[in-house]
Chains A and B, each alone.
Chain A
Amino acid sequence: MELLAFGKTGWGDELFYATLMTLAVSVTAMLIGFFFALIFTPLKLSKNKFLNLIGNFYTTVIRGVPELLVIYLFFFGGSGTIMFVASMFGYFEYIEINAFITGSFAIGIISGAYSTEVFRGAIQSIDKGQFEASKVLGIKKHIQFYKVILPQMLRLAIPNLSNVWQITLKDTSLISVTGLVEIMRQSYIAAGSTRDPLFFYSFAAVLYLLLTYFSMKLINKLELKYSRGY
């Protein structure tokens, strides 16, 4: 137990901050994922064959390739790409991008592919009559989306989005390979210096379980809120 003490003698405070880091990366990645979903969901639903192809390409490739490989692509390719872009503007110094940004971006793109599928499914399962009825009533296109489609879509999407959240949360453990100090990395450091890997990795497992448990509780509340009236 003294291994978990706060302060200089134990790893309690380090692991606490690492947990906050895991949460921060997960939330950022989830938001980046929503941003990608916002772009790619319309593409997947589009009637234009070419746009459709782009949307399908994104979700198929990202969901068919291991997360670790995507992370390596970003980790090794990220600074190279940015330096290439910078060199076009006449900047030739070495640029290293922050592990938090690369990590959240890599996980965000993965999370976005899953979110896109969820939103697509939710929009497609809304009754056609809803679209037609709002058209007949002369509601403008964007108001139709915000006031008619979106609230119904959220209700259908939230249970599946909670799965995406769980996947995203667990995927963040993989960015420990880039050196970002989140739960996994911190446990690795602690296990290395105390020679007690069994304890620290088991504790990491407990931390992840707590995170998934409490976030599920929160999401269930949201689900209740959006299913009012049904």
Chain B
Amino acid sequence: MDFELMINSLPKLLNATVITLKLLSLSLFFGLFIGFLFAVLRMNKNPIINKFAYGYSYVFRGTPLLVQIFIIYYGLGQVEYLRSTVLWVILKEPYWCAIIAFALNTGAYTSEILRSAFQTIKPGMIEAGKSLGISSKIIFYKIQIPIAIRQSLPAYGNEIILMLKGTSLASTVTLMDLTGVAKYIISTTFKPIEVFIVAGGIYLFMTFLVHNTIKYLERKFSY
């Protein structure tokens, strides 16, 4: 065991953790919007809109995240037309490509989580609201959404942890996130176990924090 290496690599790895956290928070932020949008589309009665939303989540859940990043980072750069538009400012940056891929991916999972949360709401709740003369808009915002958020908390907590682990793939498109830096240190020192313990420890600490925060929120919002 090379304890010196472990201590020396800790500041570098902690620095890289900042990038991991940035990637995670931005993709979750955009992913939540995408997920909410597609969950609503999934519940639409129009079969075309419905199928479209289902297809989106099926494709993004059925293919590896690595393929999705590569399509966006390497693939889209090949389209001549895109290079001439404003979008290129974003798409030439590996950082934003990674965030787009992560957001689309977590959006697909989030839409499934939210959809099933909406479906577990008892029809009686909505009927009760209607019989009290509350407009369906207010029923949606004041009754359905709060219940759905509470219902989806445990599954969403898992999704955050999966996404935290997913951000490690950013290292495949030249980003130096926690895993990227860990790999760099491993390949220069050939001490995989020591680096794994430190980097893995940082990841575990983050998972632990997410897990406990969600547990706390679950208790807070339980009814």
Contacts and interface: CB of A to CB of B under 8 A. Distances in A.
A66 to B, nearest CB: 3
Nearest to A22: B64
Contact of B59 (A68, A199, A205): A205
Contact of B62 (A60, A188, A209): A209
B179 A76 contact: no
Interface in A161-176: 166, 170-171, 173-174, 176
B18 to A, nearest CB: 16
Interface of B is mostly: helix
B7 interface: no
Interface string A76-95: 11001000000000000000
B196 interface: yes
A69 B63 contact: no
B168 A170 contact: no
A177 B169 CA distance: 11
Contacts of B196: 69, 72-73, 77
B75 A65 contact: no
A201 B161 contact: no
Nearest to A77: B192
Interface of A is mostly: helix
Contacts of A60: 204
A138 to B, nearest CB: 42
A16 to B, nearest CB: 18
Contact of B190 (A73, A80, A205): A80
B187 A198 contact: no
A213 interface: yes
B145 interface: no
A9 to B, nearest CB: 21
Given A77-B193, A202-B75, A72 B204 contact: no
Interface in B180-198: 182-183, 186-187, 190, 192-193, 196
B200 A209 contact: no
A195 B75 CA distance: 10
Contact of A173 (B67, B166, B207): B67
A68 B169 contact: yes
B1 to A, nearest CB: 13
Contacts of A174: 64, 66, 169
Contacts of B64: 170-171, 173-174, 184, 208
A65 B204 contact: yes
Residue from the set A68, A195, A204, A209 with the largest chain B CB neighbour count within 10 Å? A68
Nearest to A66: B168
Q: Nearest 7 A-B pairs (CB), nearest first?
A: A66-B168, A198-B75, A173-B64, A77-B192, A197-B74, A64-B207, A76-B192
